[in-house]
Structures are given as C-alpha cells and as structure tokens.
A and B are shown apart, each in its own frame.
Chain A
Amino acid sequence: MTATTLTAPAAAAEPAERALPLKTRLKRAERRKKLLHLALIAPLAVFLLLTFLWPIGALLKRSVDNPEVRGGLPATAEALEHWNGQGLPPASTLAVFVKEMEAAHGTTELASAAKRLNTEMTGYRSLIMKTARSLPLPDGTKLQDGLNAIDPRWGETHTWQVMARAGQPYTSYCLLAALDHTLDADGAIVAATEDQAIYLDVLGRTFWMSLVVTLCCLVLGFPLAYLLTSLPTRSSNLLMILVLLPFWTSILVRVASWIVLLQSGGLVNQALQALGLIDEPLQLVFNRLGVYIAMTHILLPFMILPLYSVMKGISPIYLRAAQSLGCPPFQSFWKVYFPQTLPGVFAGALLVFILSMGYYITPALLGGPQEQMASYFIAFYTNETINWGMAAALSTVLLGATLLLYIVYSRYAGQGRNTAKAR
C-alpha cells in the first residue's frame, strides 16, 4: 500500500499543496482514491437498488399488506382501531360505518373488501352486500337496532372483531397461510384446516426434489471430476469441453432434447426395448423421473466445476504417502483423498441445491401437477388468480430459505472464490 500512496498524486500536486506536511497530503490522496473507488461502485449499486433490491423489497412488503378493507371502508377501519374489542363498537363508530357503507354501495372497492372479509369469516361477503343494499336505515331508528334488524350478526362481538382485524394496515394472514397456519377467532395461531393446508407440502416437495437432484449431481459429478483431474491436461481440457458445452446450451434446448429422448417412442425406450429389458415403453417424461433427469443434466456442470477446481489443488503426494505407508488403495482414497475434496463437495452441493430450489421452467415443461415446485405457485398466484398477497408470502418463504443457504455458501466458497461460473 505504501508504494501506491507515494507515487500517486505527487506529480500533479499544486504548489500550495506542496507546502502542507507530507502526512496530510498522503491522507488527502488516500481519501481521494477511496472516493474514486466508491464512485466506481456507485452506478451499479444505484442500478441494482432501483431495479432489483427495491422491487424485491416491495414484493416482500406485499406479503403483509392488507389493503382491501382499508380501501373499501377506510374510515370504518380507522374508527375500529380505537375500539377495545369488547362488547359492541360505540355509536360514533357505527355512524361512520353506516355512512360509509351507503356511499360505497356498488363500488368495486367494497366488493373486494367483502371478499377479503369472507376469507376471515365465511358468509361475510353476503352480509356486507345485503347490508349495503338495505341502507339507509329508516329515520329515527337507533343505529345498532337498525343494523340488527338487517342481520342479527351485527349484534355479535365476533363480527366486529373480524372487521377490526381485517382492517389493520398489516396482516400476518398470507405469511401464516404460506406455512399452513391461520389465526382463529381469538387471534391465536393455529394449524390451517386440511383443505387449505397445501403450502408446507409444496415447500417440502421443493426441498425434497432439490435434495434428490443435488445427490444425483454429486454421485455423477464426483467420479467425472476425479477423472478430469487425473488425466493429462490436453485430454482433460478436451473432455472439459463436453462438460461446458451443455452448460452453455440453452436450457430450453436441453428440455426439448430430453422430451425427444425420453418420450414413449424415444431413443431411450427404443434402446431398452432392443436390449430386451422392457416390453412396453416406460413413462419417462411428464412425471417426476423426467424432471429429475433433466434437472440433474442441467445442474451437473455446477457440481463438476467447483469439485474439479478443488481436486486440481489437491497434491497427489498425500495419497502416495498413505499408500507407501501400507494403507490399502481404497482406504487411502477414502481416508486421505476424499476428506480433502469436502470443500468442493459442499460448495457444489450448496450451489446446486440453491439453484434447484428456484426451478420453474423444467418442472413446468417436463412435470405433471405433482412435480410443481414453489416457483410455480408464485407464478400461478401472480398470473392466474392475481392473489399478490399469497404470491408475495410464498416468495418471502422461498427467498428466506435461499438467502440462508446463500450465506452459508458464501462463507464456504468466499475464501476460495471459485464460483462455478468464474471459469
């Protein structure tokens, strides 16, 4: 560092600056350089903030947003915040509610508020619609009596509690739903009913499928990486091209190829039949097996590259030493060589696992409904049902799991700095 500071600004220094002590001038030059480097990073940082971090933050916020009742009945939601939740709301709140319902009758905002309330309590939608139709109340009736006359449920504390809760600006509803839980009438967290509890299943499937793909990649990647390390450079470079070519080929090309290979009249089935192993073509694609095969194929290079770079750095001397000391070959491999490859195994496995957790295209094209992973449901809620709260909540859970693993990964691979793509 000292050499840098000595040469940098000396030639350009102003005469006035020359009068300053050397220490001050050095400090100044250091600071200027630091600012320059930060200025180089700044454009990218700002760019990613605006087009990546901010949008993702906004998406995550949607998972706790609760806009419907606030949008349909803003003043009522506001007034209910001051209610203590005991007995029935005061007459002033009722007046706000009745006035707002009258004004909102027939608007889409009220309809979506009613839909939102219905998710908390079955029958709430019709209650809201019926009440809005029946207003205004006849002159002279007390508000509470008038509402009770329209529907006796307005006389129950629970009805108002539900509205107060659904009217809060933030809700844990979607996040809990993404973990198959919900709030009961008293606001306690309870397990969701069986027909609503589908998300843990999806998340579990995502984890399981990623794990299987990771193990397949490890089992296939390890022997190949080991062979590539043990070959002379010229032939290993040549074989490496066979690993890198699929890596560079479009994922959609590979998906299409696998459909061609695995279909019932495809080469794989033809070969198996020719060998007499099977009589009828096997169903190899559009099921779990097809997704596993294609995902393993796509992610295998991500396992091989870190494994290869770690194995390349292992000196063969240790293995020879073990053998010369009388250790049998397989044992020396297992006890001496294999432990040294573990950093590569972990880096590759984590990378493959992280990447497969976010897979969408391959299961969507090669799998059936039972093969769809978390990403599919995020896309489904965004495109098909336009339930952004649920899409955001599932994104939060998936992103949380991914980032946790990414932190572990960067701790591991950080020292070696050998991300698979760096090659």
Chain B
Amino acid sequence: MLQAYASPLERTWFYAHRVIAGLILLFLILPILVIVPLSFNSDSFLMYPMAGASLRWYEEIIGSDVWRNALMNSLIVSPAATLLAVVLGTLASIGLVRSDFPGKALLTAILISPMVVPVVIVGVAVYLFFAPLGLAGSYTGLILAHAVLGVPFVITTVTATLQGFDYNLVRAAASLGANPVLTFFRVTLPLVAPGIVSGGLFAFATSFDEVVVTLFLASPGQATLPRQMFAGIRENISPAIAAVATILIVLSTLMLLTLEWLRQRSEKLRTGKSR
C-alpha cells in the first residue's frame, strides 16, 4: 500500500508498477479473449475487423463427423483416465501421508515424476512398449497412458489436503465403534473430498488437453479433441478452430470456477474450525 509520507519517486514507482503489472495481466488474458469473437465471424478469415456475426462455424463443427468423433474419443478417454488416476492416486496418498518408512521421499518423487519427464519421452516409451502387447491404437492403451500423466496431480493435491486433515476425527470414529472401512467412507472421504475433486479436475484437464502421447499412441480413428486441433492448426487454421477453442475456454472457465469454489469452501471450513 502507498503510504501517506511516500516521496514523489515512490509514488511514481507505485503507479508504474501497477501499470506494468496490468500490462502483464493483459498479456496473460488477451490471447484467450481475442479468439472468442472470431468464432462468430461470418467469413472464413481469422482476422479483425470481422465481416459480420454468424453461427456458421459452430454449425460446421457440430455437423462434422471428424469433430464429433474427436469429442466422443475425448469423452471416452479422459473420464476413464481420470477415474483410474483418482482411485490409485488417492489410495496411495493416504498410504504416503500416514506412513513413515525409509525411502518415502524417493518413492514420492518417483510417483510424481510423470509430471516432469518430457512428454515426448513418455509417448515414445509407452508406444514402443504397448505396440507388441497390442495396446497401441487401443482405447485401453490411451487411457492407461493418460492416467499415468494425471496421477502426479492427484497425489500433490490429495496429500496437501490430507496434511491438514485432523486425524483425531478418525480416532474418535474408531473409539465410537466404526470399523476402518466405515470410518473411511463416513469421516475421511467427505472431509478430503474437495482435495480429491481438485486432483481429479487437474487429472481431467491434463488428459483432456493431452496431445503428444495421443500423437504416438492413437490410431487415426481415435483422434481426441486436442489431437484434431493439432491437425487443424497445422493444416489450415480456420474459424472452426476458433469455435472449438471457444468451447474449450468455456469448459476450462467452468473447471476453474469449480476449483475456486472448492478452495474457498475448504478455507471457510478450516477457519471456522479454528475459531
């Protein structure tokens, strides 16, 4: 905050800093805003000023078999991969947070490593490994590979949530006679659910945006939405791409808002408890 006794130089710097930060925010948000109106362009150029408004590009992608097929593929692969990543990642997170053994740090680092290994390496490795097993070009192979990429996000978010989890509640449940399974579903799960949902959202977003592994692993008929966009941008970038992009922007906004809501809710619960 600017103090009342600030010198003129400090004042100048204070406002300059705000202007600079505003420009950086503009840099961040402008590319996302700029493509939305172009999806309603009535001619086929991705340029301003627009000729007129129309919904023809939305009609085109809805009527196109290629895009519908891509959406179907994404809706098959991403939810399945997310489910796998969430189940395996949540169980492992509980084990990791509650236990203490030599090599735990190393194991955690390995479980998170798919996040940092270059995706191309994952793609090539998984392709060469899956091909002889008949898993290349199959939905199963694609789902397994996407789940691998989603796991680190589930682990980081769920372990973070569990670290703030009051284990006395589990002890209280046990002392009142609940067995571990019942305790898990009635006490632990509802409290860590926001963390699991955020981890799941991250895993879903990762899979839903994944193109490199898909490039190696998917057969031509299994092109997902990002894979189809990749091809579209490469060949001929048209307002149809802008229409798909707009739909994806709406989707990511929804995911972000859900996440923000979850975060605020859990923050409220936390502060409410400490009061």
Are A422 and B98 in contact, with the CB atoms below 8 A? Answer: no
A interface footprint on B167-198 (CB within 8 Å = 1, 0 otherwise): 10001001101000000000000000000000
Are A360 and B29 in contact, with the CB atoms below 8 A? Answer: no
Residues on A with C-beta less than 8 A from B144 are 51
Residues on A with C-beta less than 8 A from B89 are 44
Contacting residues of chain B (207-246) with chain A, CB-CB under 8 angstroms: 208-209, 211-212, 215-216, 226, 229-230, 233-234, 237, 241-242, 245
A118 within 8 A of B: no
Contact of B121 among A33, A44, A297, A399 (CB under 8 A): A399
Are B48 and A398 in contact, with the CB atoms below 8 A? Answer: no
B249 within 8 A of A: yes
Residues on B with C-beta less than 8 A from A112 are none
Which positions in B face A, CB cutoff 8 Å? 1, 7, 10, 17-18, 20-21, 24-25, 27-32, 34-35, 38, 46-48, 84, 88-89, 91-92, 94-96, 98-99, 101, 105, 107, 109-130, 144-145, 147-148, 151-153, 156-157, 160, 163, 167, 171, 174-175, 177, 202, 205, 208-209, 211-212, 215-216, 226, 229-230, 233-234, 237, 241-242, 245, 248-249, 252-253, 255-256, 260, 263
Least CB distance from A338 to B in Å reads 14
Query: A59-B121, A245-B32, A329-B10 in contact; A48/B151 too (CB < 8 A)?
Result: yes
Are B209 and A256 in contact, with the CB atoms below 8 A? Answer: no
Q: How far is the CA of A421 from the CA of B53 in the complex (A)?
A: 38
| Nearest neighbor of B10 in chain A, beta-carbon distance | A329
Are B229 and A252 in contact, with the CB atoms below 8 A? Answer: yes
Across the A-B interface, the 7 shortest Cβ-Cβ residue pairs: A358-B118, A40-B95, A55-B129, A37-B99, A257-B31, A44-B92, A59-B125
Are B157 and A422 in contact, with the CB atoms below 8 A? Answer: yes
- Give the number of chain A interface residues (Cβ < 8 Å): 95
Residues on A with C-beta less than 8 A from B17 are 223, 226-227
Least CB distance from B197 to A in Å reads 14
Contact of B32 among A55, A254, A395, A407 (CB under 8 A): A254
Q: Identify whether the interface residues of B are mostly helix, strand, loop, or mixed.
A: helix
Known: A34-B101, A251-B226. 16 other contacts (CB 8 A): A11-B174, A37-B98, A39-B95, A51-B147, A51-B148, A59-B129, A227-B18, A242-B28, A252-B226, A253-B245, A258-B31, A358-B116, A361-B230, A388-B128, A409-B116, A421-B202
Are A253 and B35 in contact, with the CB atoms below 8 A? Answer: yes
Are B27 and A358 in contact, with the CB atoms below 8 A? Answer: no
Least CB distance from A328 to B in Å reads 9
Are B128 and A379 in contact, with the CB atoms below 8 A? Answer: no
Residues on A with C-beta less than 8 A from B242 are 256, 260
Are B88 and A44 in contact, with the CB atoms below 8 A? Answer: yes
Q: How far is the CA of A51 from the CA of B130 in the complex (A)?
A: 9
Are A243 and B91 in contact, with the CB atoms below 8 A? Answer: no
User: Interface with B: A79-87, A177-185, A190-198, A264-272, which one?
Assistant: A264-272
Contact of A257 among B32, B94, B163, B260 (CB under 8 A): B32
Are B28 and A243 in contact, with the CB atoms below 8 A? Answer: yes
Residues on A with C-beta less than 8 A from B84 are 47
| Nearest neighbor of B179 in chain A, beta-carbon distance | A12
Least CB distance from B115 to A in Å reads 8
Are A220 and B99 in contact, with the CB atoms below 8 A? Answer: no
Contacting residues of chain A (223-280) with chain B, CB-CB under 8 angstroms: 223-224, 226-227, 230, 237, 239, 241-246, 248-261, 263, 265-267, 270
Chain A to chain B contacts (Cβ below 8 Å), 22 pairs: A7-B174, A34-B99, A38-B101, A41-B95, A41-B107, A48-B110, A59-B129, A223-B17, A237-B260, A245-B32, A250-B208, A250-B245, A256-B237, A260-B34, A260-B35, A260-B47, A300-B28, A399-B118, A409-B116, A410-B105, A410-B109, A421-B115
A125 within 8 A of B: no
Residues on A with C-beta less than 8 A from B255 are 248
Are B116 and A251 in contact, with the CB atoms below 8 A? Answer: no
A53 within 8 A of B: yes
Are A406 and B113 in contact, with the CB atoms below 8 A? Answer: yes
A287 within 8 A of B: no
Residues on A with C-beta less than 8 A from B229 are 250, 252-253, 256
| Nearest neighbor of A254 in chain B, beta-carbon distance | B31
Residues on B with C-beta less than 8 A from A358 are 116-121
Q: How far is the CA of A246 from the CA of B122 in the complex (A)?
A: 25
Q: How far is the CA of A56 from the CA of B124 in the complex (A)?
A: 9
Q: How far is the CA of A11 from the CA of B46 in the complex (A)?
A: 70
Contact of B27 among A255, A297, A329 (CB under 8 A): A297
Q: Identify whether the interface residues of A are mostly helix, strand, loop, or mixed.
A: helix
Residues on A with C-beta less than 8 A from B167 are 4
Interface centre among A3, A37, A51, A391, by most chain B C-beta atoms within 10 angstroms, is: A51
Query: A224-B25, A260-B38, A357-B118 in contact; A251/B209 too (CB < 8 A)?
Result: yes
A62 within 8 A of B: yes
Are B124 and A253 in contact, with the CB atoms below 8 A? Answer: no
Least CB distance from A268 to B in Å reads 9
| Nearest neighbor of B161 in chain A, beta-carbon distance | A422
Contacting residues of chain A (323-367) with chain B, CB-CB under 8 angstroms: 329, 354-355, 357-358, 360-361, 365
A188 within 8 A of B: no
Residues on A with C-beta less than 8 A from B113 are 403, 406
Are A56 and B122 in contact, with the CB atoms below 8 A? Answer: yes
Contact of B120 among A300, A354, A375 (CB under 8 A): A375
Are B47 and A266 in contact, with the CB atoms below 8 A? Answer: yes
A58 within 8 A of B: yes
Query: A4-B171, A51-B144, A55-B129 in contact; A395/B124 too (CB < 8 A)?
Result: yes
Residues on A with C-beta less than 8 A from B114 are 48, 52
Are B118 and A421 in contact, with the CB atoms below 8 A? Answer: no
Least CB distance from B206 to A in Å reads 9
A369 within 8 A of B: no
A419 within 8 A of B: yes
Least CB distance from B5 to A in Å reads 10
A103 within 8 A of B: no
Are A59 and B124 in contact, with the CB atoms below 8 A? Answer: yes
| Nearest neighbor of B135 in chain A, beta-carbon distance | A51
Are A37 and B34 in contact, with the CB atoms below 8 A? Answer: no
Residues on B with C-beta less than 8 A from A54 are 129
